[in-house]
Amino acid sequence: MESKRSSFSGKIGFVLAAAGSAVGLGNIWRFPYLAAKYGGGIFLLVYVALSVTFGFSLMVAEIAIGRKTGKSAVTAFGELDKRFSLVGLVASLVPMLILPYYSVIGGWVLKYFAGVVSGSASAMASDTYFGDYIGKVGEPLLWFALFIGVTAIVVLFGVEKGIEKVSKIMMPVLVALTLFIALYTIFTVDGAWEGVKYYLLPDFSKFSIMTVVSAMGQLFYSMSLAMGIMITYGSYIKKEISIEKSAKQIEIFDTGVAFLAGLMIIPAVFAFSGGDESALAQGPGLMFVTLPKVFEAMPGGTVIGAIFFFMVILAALTSSISLMETIVSIFMDKFKIGRRASCFIVLGLSVLLGVPSSLGYSLWSEFKIMGMQMLDLFDFLSNSLMMPIIAFITCVFVGFVLKPKTIIDEVTIDNKFKWQKLFSAVIRYVAPVCILAILVSSILSAFGIIKI
C-alpha cells in the first residue's frame, strides 16, 4: 500500500487540502472564545508571535518528516529512529480524543443552522437559549449523532474529494461573510468599538502564563499540529513543492480566518453585553450566544445567519473528516482490518466518548474530573497535555537526534529555505524550553498546585 501513495496534483492542491483540515471550528469557535477570555489584544499578539515561530517551525518539520519517509505519523518516527516509534502512535491517538467532542460542537452548529432556517432566530438571540439548549439531554445527542454520522458516511464511502471540492468554493465565501458580519457590527452597533480596541490593542497588564498556555494549545489545535496530521499530508507531496512556502500559506490562511472570526465575535460581545467581563469569560458558548444577537440586529439577518452557519458546518466537516480519516487509516494499518470495520470501530469509540462530552452539560453536569466536565477534560487532555508533550518530543527529536540539517536537506531538495536559521534555533532551543515550561505549569495548575 505504502508504495502506492498518491500525490497531490498541484502545489495549490496540497495547500488547499491542508487548509481544509486546518480551518474549522478551531478558528471560528475556539479562537474567539480564548481570545476573549485571555486578554484580547495580548492574546492575539502572543498567538501571532507563536504562529510565525513555533507554528512555522513545527509545521515545516512535520511536513518534511512526512515527505522524507513517505509514511504517516504512526510509522514515520519509527522509520527514522526505532526509539521514537511510540511518539508516532501517541500522536495519532490525539485525533481520537478530539473527534468525539469536536462532533458534539459540530452538532451544536447543526442545531443553530436548523434553528435559523426554521424561524427560531429571535428565540435563539435570547441570553438563556444556548444554556437551556445544551442543558437538554436528548436533542444535543441527536445533533451530535447526525454530525458524527455524516462524517462517518463520508469517510466510509471515501467521498472526501466531493466534500473538499464544495468546501474549496465555500471557503472564500466563509471568509467574505465573516468580514462582512464583523464590519456590520463594528459600524452599526453601539459599543462595538470598545471590543475592537480590546481585541486589537494589547494590554500588557492582562498578560498571564495562561495567555501563553492557551495560545500555544490553540496553535496546535488550529493548525492540526502535534497530532501526526501534517506528517501524513506531507507524505503525499512531491519533492518539487516548496515546504516552506506551503507552510507559510497554510499558516497565513488559518490565522487569517481565526483573526476575522475574533473580529466578528469580540466586538459583538461588547456591543450586546455592554463590555461585561463575565460575558467575555464565558468560554465555549461564546459564539453561540453572541452570533444570533448579531443576526437578529441585522436586516436580512436570518438569511445571512443561515448561510453563515452552513459554511461553518462545511468547515467543521472538512476538519472532522480529516480527523476521522486519520484514525481510520491508522486502525486499518495497525490491526490489518478493512476500511468498513475500521470505520465502525472509530464511530463506536467516538460515540462512547462523545456521549459523556454532551451529557456533561446536562445529566452528568455534577460529574467532574480535576474540576472539569468531560468536554473540557478531553479538550484539556489533548490540547494542554498530549499535544505539548508530542511537540516537545518532536522538537528534541528533530533538533538533536535527526538534526535540523536533515529537515533542511529535505526542504531544499528543489527549493530555497529562507528561514532556515530561525527554524533551527526555534526547533532546538526556543521551542523545547518554552513548551516544557508551559507543560509544567499547565499540569501543576490542573492539579491545583499552582494557580495561573
Q: Which residues bind ligand PHE (CB under 6 A)?
A: 21-22, 24-27, 95, 98, 221-222, 224, 227, 229, 319, 322-323
**Residues 436, 439, 444, CA angle at the centre, nearest 5°?**
125
Q: Say how far apart CA 34 and CA 326 lie, in whole Å.
A: 27
Indicate the residue among 230 and 407 with the shorter CB distance to ligand PHE.
230
Q: What is the CA radius of gyration of the chain?
A: 21
In angstroms, how far is the first alpha carbon of the chain from the final one? 48
Place of cell 490562511: 253
For ligand PHE, which is the closer residue by CB, 309 or 417? 309
CB contact set of 63 (below 8 Å; sequence gap of 6+): 230, 231, 233, 234, 237, 243, 246, 247
Q: How far is the CB of 399 from ligand PHE (least distance, A)?
A: 24
- Residue 193: CB minimum distance to ligand PHE, A: 28
- Shorter beta-carbon distance to ligand PHE: residue 257 or 271: 257
Nearest to ligand PHE of 57, 218 (CB atom): 218
Q: How far is the CB of 319 from ligand PHE (least distance, A)?
A: 4
Q: What is the DSSP letter of 24?
A: S
Query: For ligand PHE, which is the closer residue by CB, 26 or 78?
Result: 26
For ligand PHE, the nearest residue by Cβ is 26
**What is the nearest approach in angstroms of ligand PHE to the Cβ of residue 396?**
22
Q: Please say which residue, 27 or 442, places its beta carbon nearer to ligand PHE.
A: 27
Q: Spell out the residues 6+ positions from residue 148 whose beta carbon is closer than 8 angstroms to its own.
A: 99, 100, 103, 106, 107, 320, 347, 350, 351, 354
Question: With respect to ligand PHE, which residue has the nearer C-beta, 248 or 293?
Answer: 248
Nearer to ligand PHE, 73 or 431 (CB): 73
Q: Cβ 449 to ligand PHE, closest distance in Å?
A: 29
CA distance 363 to 255: 36
φ/ψ of 372, rounded to 5, equals -120, 140
Residue closer to ligand PHE, measured from CB, 53 or 320: 320
Q: Which residue has the cell 526509539?
A: 83
70 contact partners, CB below 8 Å, separation of at least 6: 2, 5, 235
Rounded to the nearest whole angstrom, what is the least distance from the CB of residue 22 to ligand PHE in the complex?
Answer: 5
Minimum Å gap between C-beta 115 and ligand PHE is 22
User: DSSP letters along 410-447, please?
Assistant: HHTSSS--TTHHHHHHIIIIIHHHHHHHHHHHHHHHHT
Distance CA 418, CA 234 (A): 19
Shortest Cβ distance from residue 323 to ligand PHE (Å)? 4
Q: How far is the CB of 19 from ligand PHE (least distance, A)?
A: 10
> 301: which residues sit within 8 A by CB, 6+ positions away?
121, 294, 295
* Minimum distance of ligand PHE from residue 239's CB (angstroms): 25
CB of 412: closest distance to ligand PHE in angstroms?
Answer: 28
Which string of DSSP letters, residue by residue, matches 50-111?
Answer: HIIIIIHHHHHHHHHHHHHHTS-HHHHHHHH-GGGHHHHHHHHHHHHHHHHHHHHHHHHHHH
Residue whose CB is less far from ligand PHE, 320 or 442 = 320
C-beta atoms surrounding 301 within 10 Å: 22
Residue 55 or 301 with smaller CB distance to ligand PHE: 55
Q: C-beta of 122: minimal distance to ligand PHE in Å?
A: 29
Which candidate, 75, 52, 87, 21, places its Cα nearest to that of 395? Answer: 87
CA distance 65 to 106: 31
Q: Which is nearer to ligand PHE, 224 or 255 (CB)?
A: 224
